[in-house]
Amino acid sequence: MYDFDPKKQLIAYLVRHGELVNMRCWDGWGNYELSDEGHQQAERAAQWLSFERIGRVISSDVPRTMQTAQYLMNTGCVLCPFLSTDPNLRPWNVAGFTGKQKTPERIAEFAKYMVDPTLVIPDGESRQQLDQRVQVIYQYATVPYKGCPTAFFIHNSVIKALMGIDDIKDACSPGGIVGMFMDEQGKIFFEILLGKVETEIGVS
């Protein structure tokens, strides 16, 4: 649980899905599912959140995020009984990189799309397009269900885009939770609540 501060209002939780069987490949928009460890991470995140009142759950529409979200739905702490999905919350569409091993050569090739946020991955999207697409989260977060925070089950690339840290390898660990807060002036800021990791520049 986070420490209450009257000068800031928690409006949403950003939950990174649990790990996959092979974390050494780009997952992109692939229909990959959680590993055994990923299921355990999802359960831990749900247990942590179960002590809070959650208005609704909105997930990316790929299997790994929906699997992670279902653990929270099963706790009974979510006021809205329906799990919503939105394809706008999908991760960065890395197209041809999806499913490929992150070899040094491929990482070097991928890095150019990190350096230039306007450069579009063939058949995919640019980092800038990802940043624009996931802005929908702010619309959801600022219109809470029954006045309670929304829990978003999303991806590392989406969390990084929202936090403005695209060049960082991991925003938090798999199954980690980031709080989205609004201060008295209406400014949005973020805090890692579960799964804090060392800051490292690189390709996730």
Q: How confident is the model at residue 203 (pLDDT cuts 50, 70, 90)?
A: confident
Cβ burial of 6 (10 Å; 0-12, 13-18, 19+) is exposed
Please report the domains of the chain, with CATH numbers, ordered by start residue.
8-91+135-194 (3.40.50.1240)
Q: How confident is the model at residue 1 (pLDDT cuts 50, 70, 90)?
A: low
Helix (H) or strand (E) holding 84: strand 83-85
Distance of CA 117 to the CA centre of its chain: 19
SS3 98: strand
Are residues 86 and 58 in contact, defined by beta-carbon separation less than 8 angstroms? yes
> Quick one: pLDDT at residue 202?
76
Q: How confident is the model at residue 2 (pLDDT cuts 50, 70, 90)?
A: low
